[in-house]
Amino acid sequence: MRITHPFHPLSGRQLPCVGERYNRYGMTLLLQIDDESICSVPPQWTDVVAVDPEIAMGGRRALFRVVDLLELAGLVDRLSKRICGRAKDAV
């Protein structure tokens, strides 16, 4: 499998998959770096999962996807409402 995540130190390298591991965040792939080292990466960081069309069409130029920005905006909105609610209770 090839690591496709642009910021991973092994990005672009083809590594054999020696297993899978599941944790609270989901599945990770165990990739063998050399005879003594194995790294664990999410499948989304490899060529196992198809590239997100939004990222492919943008030529990997965008730092964020629209769906991620909308989710972030919702989170900021919910947090600001909590903070404003606490400030009103303190007065």
Rg (CA), the chain: 19
Do 43 and 65 sit in the same domain of this protein? no
User: Do 31 and 41 contact (CB within 8 A), yes or no?
Assistant: yes
Do 67 and 45 sit in the same domain of this protein? no
In a domain, 56, yes or no: no
In a domain, 55, yes or no: no
pLDDT at 42: 92
Do 7 and 27 sit in the same domain of this protein? yes
pLDDT at 89: 66
pLDDT at 57: 76
Do 4 and 36 sit in the same domain of this protein? yes
Which residues touch 90 (CB under 8 Å, ≥6 apart)?
none
pLDDT at 87: 65
How many domains are contained in the chain?
2
**pTM above threshold 0.85:** no
Tens digit of pLDDT for each residue in 28-57? Answer: 999 999 999 999 999 988 998 877 777 777
pLDDT band at residue 83 under the 50/70/90 scheme: confident
Do 17 and 44 sit in the same domain of this protein? yes
User: Do 47 and 4 contact (CB within 8 A), yes or no?
Assistant: yes
In a domain, 29, yes or no: yes
- Identify the domain containing residue 1 by its residue range: 1-49
